[in-house]
Amino acid sequence: MARNDDVNPIASSPRLASGESRVLAVIRASLPGAGDGDSARRDETRELPGHGLTHDDVNEDANDAAGSLGTLSETQEAPGSDESSIPPGLSPGTRGTYESFPLLGVSSVDELRQILGTDVEDTQKKRGRLSNDKSDGAVKDLKDDVAPTDEIVYKDSSTFLKGTQSSNPHNDYCQHFIDTGQRPQNFIRDVGLADRFEEYPKLRELIKLKDDLIAETATPPMYLKTDLLSYNLKELNCKFDVILIEPPLEEYQRTCGATNVQLWNWDQIMELDIGEVAANRSFVFLWCGSSDGLDMGRFCLRKWGFRRCEDICWIRTNINNPGHSKNLDSKAVLQRTKEHCLMGIKGTVRRSTDGDFIHANVDIDLIISEEPDYGSIEKPVEIFHIIEHFCLGRRRLHLFGRDSTIRPGWLTVGPELTNTNFNADLYQSYFANGQITTGCTERIEALRPKSPPPKGKVSGRGRGGFNRGRGRGR
């Protein structure tokens, strides 16, 4: 009869707490002739297939695991146990280990192997999920999930709800994006122009009145196909109140897959003679991407004689085509889903005194719309609405425009256009009578957000006035 120390010589080893020892115990128990003697075990140094372990390692760690699971020694046999009750395939030397299994509610090595989740043949197909009862430490739930080998389809992120321990749980949209590819901005409500002011009837009326006035005072659309690398903007023979610049940045080739346009670097963009075609008081809107364009865009504004005064951010949704970004910047840590449009101001324009030229606070500095198809560099049409609602100037220039961006009230210039109808003399005739602004109506003036007038002063012409079609030449 072997001593208890021979059966379980290292029952107090610190390795007993590891899951590896338990796996080895299962492998040890399943080997033929396990536990038949230390001398025979030391002679077997073959490496187990697929595990990189020798029989010596398995036998030693099996004894560790047996002690941690409460193995009965041969001198402490369980009542009613004998060699005839040992399942086939187990040697009598493993009786002590086998007799401990009823304490775990199992009756064979296979069942113990399944509970521990260490089935050698099915480790690639099964994953055990073990949750411990915090009150008594007992095993309360155990499931074997068969994971598909080709693709995992996530239906929702209900298991990732944050704050579930409180009375006010809320969704974790970041985790939902990781699981499904649906961006958090997809779930923002009322982002379209038609729905944005549904609950604000006065603002909805203001937007409608301004759109009607803009359409009534807009010049016929004009466009000029030309290469802006060599074209002299002075030949337009006009000073503009608003200039929208939409350059095909080199960044778009990395982020949008744009390959069908001639890309520009920031040195070329900076060489555009924007200052020569900008009026004394005017605004410029420059699309600058989402990486180093923010800094380079500021340099451009400074060189052209503008001061940065606003940053309009376009948040791109992917409702129609959810998924993760196809192209990732090598220097980026996160997936970029936004783009910036810097706004610059030239001259002195104050919202409290220049209501004849600007109407502030009509729109917000945020655009939330669907991302265009891969390879497209189209920008949201809402940028035109923001500009037209803000600046009342009628002389509007769009550089790097395309056929899809030709618009009443705008002169569109760019190499991607397919035709030309620009006539400098005809264009100048639209402003010959001094009507360089859209003007304003009494109802628009009453509805639009305004700054309070200075104390002790009565609002006059600077508050916007009601002289439709009248404005100061700049």
Residues 376-393 as b or e (16 or more Cβ within 10 Å = b): ebebbebbbbbbbbbbbb
What's the burial of 183, exposed, middle or buried (CB within 10 Å: 0-12/13-18/19+)?
buried
pLDDT for 161: 57
Q: Retrieve residue 373's tokens.
A: 């198809």
pLDDT for 425: 94
In this structure, the number of other CB atoms found within 10 A of the CB of residue 65 comes to 27
Contact predicate 428/237, CB 8 Å: yes
pLDDT for 166: 53
CA distance 393 to 233: 19
- Please tell me the class of the 201-326+334-447 domain: alpha beta
pLDDT for 102: 53
Tokens 């729109």 correspond to what residue? 363
pLDDT for 7: 42
The residue ranges of the chain whose pLDDT is under 70 are 1-109, 111-170, 257-259, 326, 329, 453-474
Which amino acid would we find at residue 29? A
Contact predicate 70/103, CB 8 Å: yes
Distance of CA 107 to CAs 104, 327, 391, Å? 9, 55, 82
CA distance 217 to 438: 6
